[in-house]
Amino acid sequence: MIDFSQFDSLIAMTMYFNNEAVCRNAIVETRWGIGEEQDIVCPYCGQHHCATRKDGKFRCNHCKRNFTCKVGTIFEDSNLSLVK
């Protein structure tokens, strides 16, 4: 998980979060953990251990819905990139 105390300024933070992939990974790690401890939870039905698709999205094995890491967050309906 990202330790936000490592950033001593807003400039340092914006330099770290400089592309979509880094931003997406930060959201995934913060919401669902990292590595073996990662437990992706469906934002629609609440089931655990959802599958990661090849395109980077997730799929719930229970309700069969696809979702991204942005679903259920303040970023869900935003058209702005995560970098901004």
Q: What is the pLDDT of residues 48-70, one digit of tens each?
A: 989 999 998 999 999 999 999 99
pLDDT at 69: 95
Q: How far apart are the first and last CA of the chain?
A: 21
Confidence tier at 1 by pLDDT (50, 70, 90): confident
Q: Report if pTM > 0.95.
A: no
